[in-house]
Amino acid sequence: MGFQFGVSTAAYQIEGAAEEDGRGLSIWDTFSRTPGTTRGGATGDVACDHYHRWESDLDLIQELGATAYRFSIAWPRIQPTGDGPANAAGIAFYDRLVDGMLARGIDPVATLFHWDLPQALQDLGGWGNRDTAMRFGEYAELVGEALGDRVKLWVTLNEPYIHLVLGHVLGVHAPGQQLGMDLLPVIHHQLLGHGLAVSALRRVSSSPITLANNYSPVWPKSGSDDDQAAAMFYDLVQNRLFTDPVLLGEYPPIVEALTTADIDSIVMDGDLRVISQPIDALGVNYYNPSLISAPVEGEDLPFSRLDITGYPTTDFGWPVVPSALKDLLVQLRQVYGDRLPPIWITESGCSYAPVDDQFRIDYHAGHLAAVREAVEAGVDVRGYCAWSLLDNFEWAEGYDQRFGLVHVDFETQERTRRASFAWFREVCTSAAPRPDL
Ligand code: GCO
C-alpha cells in the first residue's frame, strides 16, 4: 500500500514529571487537581512516567516496526508561562526524544498542541483571547527552530473541536468552561493559532504540516425534515467548522449561531488568509459515527445525539463501525475535492482492557480494511497511527479506559505487550515501502 504505520500519544497523557525541569503549569494540571473533575481524582502527575522511560518506550515502538511516532510537545515545558524564550531543559527533552526516534528508524510526527495550554495563558483568557493565537505562533517558531530539521511531519492542533466542546461548552475537560453558545472566539483563535503556527514553521522548517481534526460521519435518525436539518447542522459543527476555514478559507454558515457578538469583531481582515494557507496533509482522528435527531424536548441545542445500537461496543461504550471510516474518507474527498491534501489517519483506536485483546485486533483490522477500501476508491491516504502505544491518562476518565497496544500497570509502571501488539507488528513489518510525504 506504500504507507506509514505508526502509533500516537500525547504529552499530558503519558509524560508525568509534572514538576520537572522547569515545566510550567498547564490547564490540565489545574483542572485534574480540582476535586470532582476526573474519575477517581486521577491526574497526569505521573501518568506513564514516560518522561523517565522514554528510551524503553521508543524501544517498544521500534520493536513494533512502526515507521512513525506521533507524540505531542508540552507547551509548558517549552514556555512555562506561554511566553518568552524557550526553557532549555524542555527543549532538551524533546531533542533527545526526536534523536532517539531517528536512531531507531522512526519518523517523528510532532503535535504542538494536544490540549495542555499553559495556565498563565488561561489566566489571560485562554483561547478566548486573541493574544493566545499570537503566543502559539511564537511557541511554534521556538519548537520549529529546535526540532525543524528532524521532525518529519508537524501537527499544529489536536482536535480543536473536542477541545472546544468538552473544555468550553460542557466543561468536562480543562479549562472547565461553559460558555453557552458564545463560542466563536475559542473557535477562531484556535484556527488563527494554527495559521500563525503554519507561517512560523514555514520560516524555520521545510517539513510538511497538518492539523488533526476528529471526524464523525453523521447518520440522521430518519428521513424527516427535522432530523435531516439537525443532522446537517451537526455535520457542519463537528466535521466542517475546523476544516472549511483551513481548506476553503471560509466558515460554514452556522458560525452565526455560535456567537452573540459581531463576527467582524472576532474574525478580522486577513485572518482567513492566514488560516487557509496551504497545508501538506490533513490529519483525521476517527473513533465512531454520530446518530443525530431533531432536538428532544427540553434540550436547547439544535440537535440531539442518540446512542447507536446494533454494533459491538468498546469499554467506553463507543460503537465500532469500521465502514463509517471509509464513508468519512470518501466524503472528505467529495466535499473538498482538489482542496483536500493527502490524509493521515492520525488516530484510531479502542478502549479495551484485557491483555488478550482480540477485540482490539478486530478493531484495527476492520479500520485498516476500511482505509484500504477508501484508497481503492481514490482517496489519498498516507498513514495510519493507532491510538495508542500505551494505556494512558484518558482525560476525565482517568486511567480506567485503556487504549494501548501495550498494557500499563500504573502501580509499578510495568509494560506488557498485548496480543494486538504482536498483531500490529505483523502489519507494520509486512507493509510495502513507503512514499515520502
Ligand atoms: C483525542 C484524543 C486522545 C484520546 C483518544 C481517546 O485526540 O481525543 O486526542 O487524547 O485519548 O481520542 O479518547
Whether residue 437 is contained in a domain is answered as: no
Whether residue 220 is contained in a domain is answered as: yes
User: Into how many domains does the chain fold?
Assistant: 1
CA 13 to ligand 1: nearest atom: 10
325 pLDDT band (50/70/90 cuts)?
A: very high
> Using CA atoms, how far apart are residues 132 and 374, in angstroms rounded to an integer?
37
Query: Do 44 and 81 touch, CB atoms closer than 8 A?
Result: no
299 pLDDT band (50/70/90 cuts)?
A: confident
Whether residue 73 is contained in a domain is answered as: yes
Residue 400 has a CB neighbour count (10 Å cut-off) of 14
Ligand 1 site, residue 394, Cβ cutoff 6 A: yes
- The confidence score (pLDDT) of residue 301 equals 87
Closest CA to 108 of 133, 132, 143: 143
Whether residue 19 is contained in a domain is answered as: yes
> Using CA atoms, how far apart are residues 243 and 250, in angstroms rounded to an integer?
9
Calculate Rg over the CA atoms of the chain. Answer: 20
Q: How far is the CA of 306 from the centre of ligand 1 (A)?
A: 21
Residues 374-411 have pLDDT tens digits of 999 999 999 999 999 999 999 999 999 999 999 999 99
Residues 269-281 have pLDDT tens digits of 999 999 999 999 9
Complex ipTM above 0.85?
yes
> Using CA atoms, how far apart are residues 38 and 172, in angstroms rounded to an integer?
8
Share of the chain above pLDDT 70, in %: 98
- The confidence score (pLDDT) of residue 186 equals 98
What average pLDDT does the chain have?
Answer: 97
Q: How far is the CA of 291 from the centre of ligand 1 (A)?
A: 20
298 pLDDT band (50/70/90 cuts)?
A: confident
432 pLDDT band (50/70/90 cuts)?
A: low
Helical H runs in 116-224?
119-122, 130-147, 160-164, 184-204
- The confidence score (pLDDT) of residue 91 equals 98
- The confidence score (pLDDT) of residue 417 equals 99
> Using CA atoms, how far apart are residues 243 and 252, in angstroms rounded to an integer?
9
Whether residue 434 is contained in a domain is answered as: no
Closest CA to 406 of 414, 415, 398: 415
Cα 376 to chain center, whole Å?
26
The b/e string for 252-280 (b: 16+ C-beta within 10 A; e otherwise) is bebbeebbeeeeeebbeeebbebbbeebb
Which of the residues 15, 138, 141, 347 is marked catalytic?
347
> Using CA atoms, how far apart are residues 253 and 165, in angstroms rounded to an integer?
18
Which residues lie across from 220 on neighbouring strands?
292
Q: What is the mean pLDDT of residues 169-194?
A: 97
- The confidence score (pLDDT) of residue 144 equals 98
Ligand 1 site, residue 242, Cβ cutoff 6 A: no
Please report, for the domain that includes residue 255, its CATH number: 3.20.20.80
> Has residue 217 got a pLDDT over 80?
yes
- Please give the residue range of the domain that contains residue 277: 4-429
To which residue does cell 476555514 refer?
A: 245
Q: How far is the CA of 235 from the centre of ligand 1 (A)?
A: 20
240 pLDDT band (50/70/90 cuts)?
A: very high
> Using CA atoms, how far apart are residues 172 and 392, in angstroms rounded to an integer?
18
> Using CA atoms, how far apart are residues 180 and 191, in angstroms rounded to an integer?
20
Angle between the N-to-C axes of helices 130-147 and 184-204, in degrees from 0 to 180, rounded to the nearest 10? 30
Interacting residues of 422 by C-beta distance below 8 A, sequence separation 6+:
none
> Using CA atoms, how far apart are residues 139 and 37, in angstroms rounded to an integer?
28
- The confidence score (pLDDT) of residue 181 equals 83
Residues 153-170 have pLDDT tens digits of 999 999 999 999 999 999
Q: How far is the CA of 8 from the centre of ligand 1 (A)?
A: 9
Catalytic-residue membership of 159: yes
Amino acid at site 95: D
CA 162 to ligand 1: nearest atom: 8
Question: In testing the pocket of ligand 1, which one of 159, 393, 405 has its CB within 8 Å of the most ligand atoms?
Answer: 159
431 pLDDT band (50/70/90 cuts)?
A: low
> Has residue 434 got a pLDDT over 60?
no
DSSP character for 174?
A: T
Interacting residues of 270 by C-beta distance below 8 A, sequence separation 6+:
none
Ligand 1 site, residue 347, Cβ cutoff 6 A: yes
Whether residue 343 is contained in a domain is answered as: yes
Which residues lie across from 285 on neighbouring strands?
214, 347
> Using CA atoms, how far apart are residues 147 and 204, in angstroms rounded to an integer?
9
Whether residue 436 is contained in a domain is answered as: no
Whether residue 241 is contained in a domain is answered as: yes
- The confidence score (pLDDT) of residue 1 equals 38
Query: How far are the Cα atoms of 124, 138, 185, 265, 266 from residue 269, in angstroms, in the given order?
Result: 23, 21, 15, 10, 10
> Has residue 334 got a pLDDT over 60?
yes
- The confidence score (pLDDT) of residue 437 equals 45
Residues 82-122 have pLDDT tens digits of 999 999 999 999 999 999 999 999 999 999 999 999 999 99
Which of the residues 15, 138, 141, 159 is marked catalytic?
159
Edge-to-edge strands, sheet with 218-220: 218-220, 290-293, 304-306
Query: How far are the Cα atoms of 132, 135, 199, 397, 404 from residue 386, in angstroms, in the given order?
Result: 30, 30, 29, 19, 9
